[in-house]
Structure formats: structure tokens, C-alpha cells
Amino acid sequence: MGMIKPKIRDKIYFYLFLALAFFIPVHDKFVPPIIILIGLNWILEFNFKEKSQLIKHERKRRDILAFGLLYLLYVTGVSYSSQLKGQEGAFFDLEVKMSLLIFPLLFSSIDFGPFRKNFFNRVLGSFVIGSLFSGLLLIGFSSFEFFNGKGDWNLFFYTKLSHWQHPSYFALYYAFSIAVILVRLIGNFEISRRERYFYFILILCFQLLIVILSSKAGILAVAIMYLVILLYLFVKKNLGISNRFWAPVFLFISLSLLLIMFPQSYGRFVNAKSAVEHETSLPTDTKESSAARILVWKSAFEVIKANPVIGVGTGDVKQELRKVYKEKKIEGAYEDHLNAHNQFIQTTVALGVLGLLVLVLGFLMPTIYSFKRNSLLYLLFLVLAGFHFLVESMLERQAGVVFYAFFNSLLFYFAIEKDKRLNPLE
């Protein structure tokens, strides 16, 4: 018998999950206390036998639990790490990545049956509201600085706009918010024309935020998402939604127009193109992000070649990368302690080919599954997260780990459910 009555316990779960979804895009400082409270509620149920039985008798729960395998590999990587303590050490890395284990454990062992039937949609709605709120905060802070003497329009672009987080993370949050709204637009035939206009305005607002954040990854990810939706609608003609192709087409055009309207953001793509074209002669002291990435990736491959099987260990990644930076005189990356800026490469450096295989399968298998189950939202989440993993080490910061681990577990769990109310396209 638990210390908390079941009805109260379920309400606590419900509102804590809503709060978590809201604060993920707002500020990462609010996230750990909420996760701790969810964990305490889970422990105070004192029904560990029932939890183990749920996992034992339901395959979907065992499948969710399998997402925690990557974290266990990182735990194993501690055993051959030389640097254990400090903010670049193995123990701190395990602390940052703990959500990779916590959320699969929670979603595999919590009985969601007693929850309100609209739990899934309420969580997604809470995230969208939180994303909109964070966007208003960013604009608000920049406006305050602008009108208090600085008068610098650059305050509304890139890192000067993204006050407490890297622009790529905010762009990912806003891109996923677009996915949530767009799936509702495409799949739900019962919303009014007024609601439809409101949703389009929201999407355009999120697109604007992504463009002025000047996140190349965010802009490209959204564009790719629209193309994936078009392909999905073409292949899934039997769902009766192929006539909704105009929505992603319109939004793709509007995104392109926004990019043209803001030459500062467009210029970052020009710089990226130049870096790729001259990748053999890049200056080692460069601070330009695309050029720096190319140099960092080359350095990371040097480390991988020397440690291909098991990697360098959970705590030694930055240490080994900095050795190569110093040897190749890549001053900018060395001074800034840059990680691999690609999660697939980062994981391979740490854990070798086995870690890479587990991470890739963690995307590949759910992608196939979401497509077969007609779970468009889950598919779009995987596309957005996977693309960002290609250009950022998203699991090296709490902002990326919690977002990925939480929504990956949530979407996988409810992609399996057969209740059509949970997903308009199921």
C-alpha cells in the first residue's frame, strides 16, 4: 500500500508531467526539481512488485525500457575513464544524461490507465504553450535591452536573442511545437475555421522565432519536416488525408520568404556554404560555427580511429578531443572546450561502435515503427531530433537530454495505444 492515495497520486503525476512539458522550453533550471518530484511520487507508490509485473507482461513497456540501454553503456564507459570528477568528468556526464534512464523507467512502469483521457494531448498542449511563453520572454528581454539605451537590432538575432540557452535548443523546441500543431491541422477534421487560422498564425510565429534565432539546424530541420510530411501524405493515401498537402507547401513557402526577409539569418547559410567549399583550407583559429564544426569533426574522427571499439570512455571525450585540437593548433575549439557538435560522433568517441549502433537503432527502429503505426507526430519528432543530433551534441546538455528522453518515451508509449483520440492520424 502506498503512502499516497491512488487518486491523489494520479493527479500529482498528471500535473507534474504538464509542468515538466511547460518548463522544458522555458528554462532548464525549473526542470530538475519537477523530475525529482515525479520520481518521489513514483517511489512513494511502494508498488514495485506491480510495476515489475507491468513490465513483465506487456511488451510495449519492455520496449520502452530498452531506451535506457544507451545510459547503461555510458555507465559501463565510466570503468575505463581516467577523468571521473569535475564538469568534464564521467560522474557529471552520467548526472546530465540520467534522464535517458529515468523516463524509460517511468513510462514503462507507471499505470496510465487512471489518468484523464486527454493526458497525451494536454501534455503536448502544455509544451506548445511553454514554447510560446519562452518566445515571448526572449523577445521581451531583448526589447527591454533595446529600449534601455543599447538600440542594437542585433539583440533580436542569434545568440543575443537566445539569452539563457543556445539557439539550436530553442529552435528545436519551436520546431516540435510546429509539428504538434501541424499534425492536429492535418489530421483533425472537426476544428473550426477560426481555430485553423489561429493554428496557422501560431506556426508562423514559431517559424519567425526560428528564423531570427538564426539556427541553421532549426531552419533546415523545419524545411525537411515539411518535405517529410508531403512524402508521408503521398505514401499514406489510404488515410484519406492526402488532400491536406497544401498545408506543408504553404508553410514551406512562408519559411523561405521569412528567410529572405532576414538577410542576417540567410547570411549564416552563405557562410556555411563557403566553409564546406573551402573545408581543406579553413583557418584553425576560426570562430565561424560551420567552419569550426568541420574542424571539430575531423579531430573527432582522429580520436575514433585510435579508439574504434569501445571509445575513450564516458569521462574522457573532451580531454581527448582537446589533445587533438592542441596538436592541430585549432585554437578556437581548444579555448572553448568544444565537444564534437554531432551526437552520433560524440557517442562514438565515448563508447565506440557499440554506442553508435545503440544510438542509431534508437532512431531507426522507432522511425520504422511510427511509420507503420501511422504515428506522424512521433515520426516528425524523430526527424527533428535526429537532424539536430547530426549538427549538435544534444545529449551533452540537460536541455537536449530531457527533451529527447521525455518526448521519445511519451510518444512511443502512446504510439502503441489504439485509442484514436490520442492521435488524430491513428
Q: Are 145 and 139 within 8 A, CB to CB?
A: no
Query: What would the DSSP string read from start to end of 299-339?
Result: HHHHHHHHSTTT-S-TT-HHHHHHHHHHHTT-HHHHHTT--
Q: Give me the mean pLDDT over the 298-313 stretch.
A: 94
**Residue in this structure with the C-alpha cell 528567410, named with its chain if needed:** 259
Is the model's pLDDT at 3 over the cut of 80? no
**How confident is the model at residue 291, as a pLDDT?**
80
Task: State the sign of the Cα–Cα–Cα–Cα dihedral 267, 271, 277, 278.
Answer: positive
Dump pLDDT digits (tens) for 371-381: 888 899 999 99
Confidence grade of residue 30 (pLDDT, cut at 50, 70, 90): very high
Instruction: Name the grid cell of 88.
Output: 568534464
Q: Can you read off the three cell numbers belonging to residue 387?
A: 537532424
Among 320, 389, 311, which Cα is nearest to 350's? 311
Average pLDDT of the residues in 376-392: 96
User: Given this model, what pLDDT does residue 344 score?
Assistant: 97
Percent of the chain with pLDDT over 90: 62
- With vertex at residue 384, the alpha carbon angle to CA 382 and CA 386, rounded to the nearest 5 degrees, is 60
pLDDT value of position 118: 85
Between 79 and 278, where is the model more confident? 79
Q: Which of 53-62, 174-183, 307-316, 383-392 has the lowest mean pLDDT?
A: 53-62
pLDDT-above-70 percentage for the chain: 92
Q: What pLDDT does 267 receive?
A: 80
Higher pLDDT, residue 391 or 292? 391
What's the average model confidence in pLDDT over 67-84? 95
Average pLDDT over residues 226-246: 80
For residue 1, pLDDT beyond 90: no
Tens-digit pLDDT profile for residues 207-221 = 999 999 999 999 999
Q: At what angle do helices 317-327 and 289-306 cross, to 10 degrees?
A: 110
Q: pLDDT for 267-297, tens place per residue?
A: 877 777 776 766 666 777 676 677 888 899 9
Output the pLDDT for position 112: 85
If we measure between CA atoms, which residue out of 122, 132, 169, 167 comes closest to residue 19? Answer: 122
Summarize pLDDT for 98-156 with one digit per residue, the tens: 999 999 999 999 988 777 678 999 999 999 999 999 999 999 999 999 888 767 888 88
Res 265: pLDDT: 80
| Whole-number average pLDDT of the chain | 89
CA 251 to CA 77: how far, in whole Å?
44
Asked if 376 and 186 touch (Cβ cutoff 8 Å), the reply is: yes
The yes-or-no verdict on residue 91 having pLDDT over 80 is yes
pLDDT at 34 over 90: yes
Our measurement of the distance from residue 264's CA atom to the centroid of its chain's CA atoms, rounded to an integer in Å, reads 25
pLDDT reported for residue 281: 66
Residues 372-400, mean pLDDT to the nearest whole number: 94
Provide the pLDDT confidence category of residue 7 given band limits of 50, 70 and 90: confident
Give dist(CA 169, CA 324) in Å, integer: 27
| 420: pLDDT strictly greater than 50 | no
Q: What confidence score (pLDDT) does residue 426 get?
A: 40
Q: Are the beta carbons of 394 and 362 closer than 8 angstroms? A: no
Write out pLDDT tens, residues 47-66.
888 889 888 888 888 999 99
Q: 168-198 pLDDT, tens per residue?
A: 999 999 999 999 999 988 876 578 888 889 9
